[in-house]
Chain A
Amino acid sequence: MRQVKYRSIVEKLTRMSMLVSGIALLVACVSFIGFDMVTYRANKVRSISTEAQIIGSNAVSALLFNDPQSAEDTLSALRAAPSVVSAGICTLDGRVFASYSRDHVLITAPALPPEGEAEVHSISGAQIALARSIVFKGKPTGVVWIRSDVQELNRRLKRYVGIAAIVMVASLLAAFFLSSMYRKEITEPIVSLAQVARLVSRDKNYSLRAASAGSTAETSILVDSFNNMLAQIQERDKELLQAHGELEQRVRDRTAELAAANKELEAFSYSVSHDLRAPLRSIDGFSLALIEDYGTKLDQGGKDYLRRVRAASQRMSQLIDDMLNLARVTRRAMQRETVDLSGLAKSIAEDLSEEEPSRHVEFAIADGLSADADSGLLKIAMQNLIGNAWKYTSAHDRARIEFGRVKHNGRPAYFVRDDGAGFDPRYVERLFGAFQRLHAATEFPGTGIGLATVHRIIHRHGGEVWAEGGVESGATFYFTL
């Protein structure tokens, strides 16, 4: 892994420096060779022109005195110029007067200069063809032409390309070696830094440190800053870990304390409630015995007192039952299943109507509502909510109780609504507290445990419960599951 990374950055640096020097060299070579080729060609044309001029002036008399042999002698001097492929002299009427061929092949005259022009040349492929008018004492006498190959040009080009290639290879090698010399100074600290950074991020081990960089200022700053950063992180990490440990310990302690306290409290309230029943039963039982056995000896006032004693003891028994219920709700294990809420609401409504058939209460229960919940607990909660609605509408001749479902913050919320006595919204916070009552027991009987039980059940389901309402304008209790 380390080798791969190391090689990649070195390779990049090397490639970059080689590329830069290579391109610079290539551009320089190409432009130099191009310039030289153009110059060489121009010089070549000029030298051929000079040769043509010399041949021409030497061939004037041969032309004028119709001596092709002499002209050919003159032309044969071109043997000294090996690049001349062929040459010739034409008379003014375009007839070939004398000719010369280096390789003794068929000769064709190139295009002759048009009238009024001294010279014309054309470059085609590997040949330069030049035709020059022979002027003697101001008068055109004939035309000399020379075809010269540019093999030398090609040889030159080849030589230049060879030299350029050698220079290129040499400079690329130099670039390669120079860049490998820089490897130690630049790439190694970076590579080691990258390596350490990778290890740190992989193992979360902040005790690692990058090796100190060489002489290059930037890399050593980089390495030092990185090491500083690591030290800081390590320090903070240690503190954080410590704080975290302490916090966890504290939470564990508190939770244990709380659990113990809770257990104690539950055991206490359960035993209290349970143990309270026995004396209460004695009070109620002996009060009844007193009325039954000694009723005749008591006057009306005595009997009334005894009735009150009994009523109070019965109320207390109810209180104890409710408290045991509340405790049971808290302790009972949850078993979630699909509960038919509509059916549950209907059966509760039927029970209530049977208990007090004289009341005119209209039930509006939405069909098909079901939820994933503990059926026993939910039954208790629904009994409380619908029972409350039934109870707090008892002062009205006609009442309407509604059960349904609305959307609340994207989740389904179930509600029980009545048009009964309602409550003062200022005290809405107190509704769900145990033993908290907003109405007098004489007005509406109750222990103040019901809504606290509902609250606990809904919370055990992970849901919420809340209420809306106003004095004499009914109440609506919502819950989610």
Chain B
Amino acid sequence: MSNERAHRWLLCSPCMSLVIALWLFVGVPYLQSEQPKAREFEVKAAYLYNFARFVEWPDDGNGNRDGNGSLEICVLGADPFGQTLDATVAGQTVGGKNVAVKRISKPQDVGPCRIVYISSPEEWHLKDVLAALDKARVLTVSDIPRFSERGGMIGFVLDGNRVRFDVNLASAQGAGLTLRSELLKVATNVRKHPGDM
């Protein structure tokens, strides 16, 4: 009740018009161009980190897959995140391991990476990239359209302003990864079998 009254007061107050004007001139263009893009990648950076918490990687035998004891998220190709991803994972841990960001230019450099984000410009040779990563047992994530249909594991999709993702469970399972059901629950679309469309 008192809240409503406060709102009404704000709307009626003469200074409100000034606030609205300022917002229209400055805020709206900012929101429409720069801000959504930056926020989108902030969200995607957080998702990349969160994926790490819902995926289990197979043990590769020597028990020391992560080189310097940290879980690495790799960005393949042109980095759309800037410092956002580094800022997001800074100080975070997954399963007792620090999360680190590594930028690589070709799939062969994947090394101890757990998650590989394939940036959009790499779409032209996506098939090769995926083939190269096939045996690396990494979670492949990308913005590339229909990524999951094309053999990738998790593809970001935009649902209005919201960032969501498709999952190709068959690919992930093929790489020996286990995706937790909670992750699948919030996915837009889950492909369970290689033939699924």
Contact = CB atoms under 8 A, between A and B. Distances in A.
B162 A66 contact: yes
29 contacts: A58-B182, A60-B182, A61-B182, A61-B183, A61-B185, A61-B186, A62-B185, A62-B186, A64-B46, A64-B47, A64-B50, A64-B53, A65-B47, A65-B50, A65-B164, A65-B165, A65-B183, A65-B186, A66-B43, A66-B162, A66-B163, A67-B164, A67-B186, A70-B185, A70-B186, A136-B53, A137-B53, A137-B94, A137-B95
A16 B43 CA distance: 79
Interface string A111-154: 00000000000000000000000001100000000000000000
User: Nearest 10 pairs between A and B by C-beta?
Assistant: A61-B182, A67-B186, A64-B50, A65-B186, A70-B186, A61-B186, A62-B186, A70-B185, A61-B183, A137-B53
Given A60-B182, A61-B183, 7 more contacts: A65-B164, A65-B165, A65-B183, A66-B43, A66-B162, A66-B163, A67-B164
A79 to B, nearest CB: 18
Contacts of B81: none
Contacts of A66: 43, 162-163
Interface of B: 43, 46-47, 50, 53-54, 94-95, 162-165, 180, 182-183, 185-186
A105 to B, nearest CB: 15
Contacts of B183: 61, 65
A144 to B, nearest CB: 15
Which of B54, B163, B165 has the most chain A CB atoms inside 10 A of its CB? B54
Interface in A319-372: none
Nearest to B92: A139
Interface of A: 58, 60-62, 64-67, 70, 136-137
Nearest to A68: B162
A190 B153 CA distance: 101
Contacts of A64: 46-47, 50, 53
Contacts of B186: 61-62, 65, 67, 70
B91 to A, nearest CB: 11
Contacts of A70: 185-186
Nearest to A62: B186
Contacts of B94: 137
A473 B134 CA distance: 165
A149 to B, nearest CB: 22
